[in-house]
Homo-oligomer: A and B are copies of this chain.
Amino acid sequence: MPCFSLLQSSLLNVDNMNPNVKRVEYAVRGAIVQRAVQIEKELKEGVKKPFDEVIKANIGDAHAMGQKPITFLRQVLALCAYPELLEDDKFPADAKQRARRILEACGGHSIGAYSSSQGIDCIRQDVARYIEKRDGGIPSNPDNIYLATGASDAIVTMLKMLVCGEGRDRTGVMISIPQYPLYSAALADLAAVQISYYLDEDKCWSLDVAELKRAVDAARQHCNPRVLCIINPGNPTGQVQSRQCIEDVIRFAKDERLFLMADEVYQDNVYAEGCKFHSFKRVLFEMGPEYSTAVEMASFHSTSKCYMGECGFRGGYMEVINMDPEVKAQLTKLVSVRLCPPVPGQALLDLVVNPPQPDEPSYHQFTKERATVLATLAEKARLTEQIFNTVPGITCNPVQGAMYTFPRIALPQKAIDKEEGLSPDMLYCMRLLEEEGICLVPGSGFGQREGTFHFRMTILPPTEKLKIVLQKIREFHVRFTQEFS
């Protein structure tokens, strides 16, 4: 057979594809995870390894780590998918009532119909009520709620709205270092300017407004800073911001005329004593009208985290605050091109914001299941910090919230100098994967101060397995340090 394709290079090749796409990086599913998948295949094919399974602590995927779905959520989803079950006595009345209400709001009473692009009306109303309750009665308007295909979708959409200008006028977006790499990936894709501000590792990864100021002032030399992104509770840091810090950030955003993006997808994941989740919106409104009518903001939430961990459904929402009505109309138009967020994910979100009430039959089981998940996570957060801090060369801040730890690792100079095209923390994580079957993400995928090294690990493996993982990392760390000393 003649090899015609050899005569000329591909029409679409890496040299002539979209250069912004080439700049995109997403470490949470990067090289190390691809190798992990390969190793899993090798294990299945009977290849001998020093371990029996790969433990993927690279991604906040609770169900994959064995967390069971919350019964009530899944009952309602099954009823929505197959409404014949509404006649079935096995399902509790409140699950049926929720399903009926969702179905009535769907075109043709089917979750197979498109919803409106902003999301199903009654679900947006439920979201608004949930926010009002969470924020001590501060009003939330359902017209300001946009359901989305996970929080990622909403974040990228909001960033897209904000990007404009060329050269020195190009939009700059402030993101923390370390960050969740969705942000840097979206900025690369949109050809926006990334403005890095560093979190203070010595102060438990807290945010310092002086550092924000340093970063924005430096950035004004070469771009137009317009957006400040905050992740609270923090990913990958696990830090929970104080009310004071949030006030300072809001004041800073107002003074510097920055659009605030508050990624609050871990709002139910707060474990440390003395820590509490404060929503940016609540703090904003409690600071008075000088702020609450002036600061433009979007806040993001998801069905993928917290106690439910339903990542596969891709549910989420954003609330926009003080958005110019013309811009809102443009946003609504933009999301309409993709028709609507997945309706099963919308339904799931509805249950999260409108859970069983004390007088309803599912209340007891629901609250028990939720409490168990959150208590277990809190226990694992504590355990992780505790065990890591017994290892010489590993320094671990408290996991105050979210689902991750981002400990600092002291690497021997020989490992740093080794250079094989790998960053030293990638070398470390790759070796850990090959030797122990544990999949983490190197700190370089999230950003870290020059000369420091970290990894991100989820605290999601079941407690007994997590103990083994921590123990194995400890042994590996000692071995790695010896090898390169």
| Chain A residues with a Cβ under 8 A of chain B | 1-5, 10-14, 16-19, 21-22, 24-26, 28-30, 37, 59, 61-69, 74-75, 77-79, 81-82, 85, 88, 90, 106-108, 110-117, 149-150, 152-153, 156, 160-164, 181-182, 185-186, 189, 226, 257-259, 289-290, 293-294, 296, 308-314, 322-324, 326-327, 330, 333-334, 336-345
Contact = CB atoms under 8 A, between A and B. Distances in A.
B160 A63 contact: no
A347 B21 CA distance: 29
Contacts of A68: 110
A342 B342 contact: yes
B115 A18 contact: no
A178 B181 CA distance: 40
Contacts of A111: 312-313
Contacts of A14: 324, 326-327, 330
A290 B6 CA distance: 11
Contacts of A62: 112-113
Contacts of A289: 1-2, 4
A69 B18 contact: no
Contact of A312 (B160, B326, B344): B344
Contact of A11 (B19, B258, B344): B258
Contact of A107 (B25, B29, B64): B64
A327 B17 contact: yes
Given A78-B82, A81-B77, A311 B113 contact: yes
Contacts of A114: 59, 61, 64, 311-312
Nearest to A260: B11
Given A12-B323, A63-B107, A116 B338 contact: no
Contacts of A30: 333, 336
A115, A326, A337, most chain B CB atoms within 10 A: A337
Contacts of A78: 78-79, 81-82, 85
Contacts of A82: 74-75, 77-78
A339 B29 contact: yes
A339 B152 contact: yes
B186 A337 contact: yes
Given A4-B289, A65-B108, 12 more contacts: A1-B289, A11-B259, A12-B324, A14-B330, A16-B164, A18-B162, A26-B333, A29-B117, A61-B113, A77-B81, A182-B337, A312-B343
B108 A10 contact: no
A324 to B, nearest CB: 4
Contacts of A18: 160-164
A163 B20 CA distance: 9
A5 B325 CA distance: 13
Nearest to A303: B112
Contacts of A25: 333
Contacts of A185: 337
A309 B29 CA distance: 32
A21 B161 contact: yes
B290 A161 contact: no
Contact of A342 (B19, B162, B164, B312): B312
A426 to B, nearest CB: 16
4 cross-chain pairs, A with B, having the tightest CB-CB distances, nearest first:
A64-B107, A312-B343, A78-B82, A63-B110
A162 B17 contact: yes
30 contacts: A2-B290, A10-B323, A11-B257, A11-B258, A11-B259, A12-B162, A12-B296, A12-B323, A13-B327, A14-B327, A14-B330, A18-B164, A21-B334, A24-B337, A25-B333, A28-B336, A64-B108, A66-B108, A77-B82, A78-B82, A81-B81, A112-B309, A113-B312, A150-B338, A189-B334, A312-B342, A314-B340, A314-B342, A314-B343, A342-B345
Nearest to A9: B324
B293 A327 contact: no
Given A1-B289, A26-B333, A61 B107 contact: yes
B150 A324 contact: no
Nearest to A329: B14
A4, A258, A296, most chain B CB atoms within 10 A: A4
Given A37-B116, A77-B81, A338 B10 contact: no
